[in-house]
Structure 1
Amino acid sequence: MANPFRGEVALMLDGREHVARLTLGALAELEAELGADGLTGLMERMDAGRIASREIMAVLVAGLRGGGWSGRAADLVAVEIGGGPLEAARLAARLLALAFRAPE
Structure 2
Amino acid sequence: MANPWAGEVALELNGTPHVLKLTLGALAELEDQLAAGSLVELVQRFESGAFSSSDVLALVCAGLRGGGWTGQQADLLTADIAGGPVKAARVAAQLLAQAFTVPGGQHDGV
TM-score over 0.5 (shorter chain): yes
The alignment status of 1:13 with 2:13, answered yes or no, reads yes
Q: Percent identity?
A: 56
Shift of 1:103: 4.0
Structure number with bigger Rg: 2
- Equivalent residue letter for 2:29: E
Distance 2:16 2:53 in 1: 22
Give SS of 1:25's match: helix
CA contact (8 A) 2:33 2:58 kept: yes
Aligned equivalent of 2:100: 100
* Matched residue count: 104
Distance 2:89 2:4 in 1: 17
The within-5 A match list for 1:9-88 is 9-88=9-88
- Give deviations 1:1-33, integer Å, cap 9, x for gaps: 111011000011011100100001100000001
Flag structure 1 segments of 5+ consecutive residues without an equivalent: none
Distance 2:35 2:28 in 1: 10
Q: Pairwise CA RMSD of aligned residues?
A: 1.0
With normalisation by structure 1, the TM-score equals: 0.95
CA contact (8 A) 2:7 2:98 kept: yes
Shift of 1:48: 1.1
Flag structure 2 segments of 5+ consecutive residues without an equivalent: 105-110
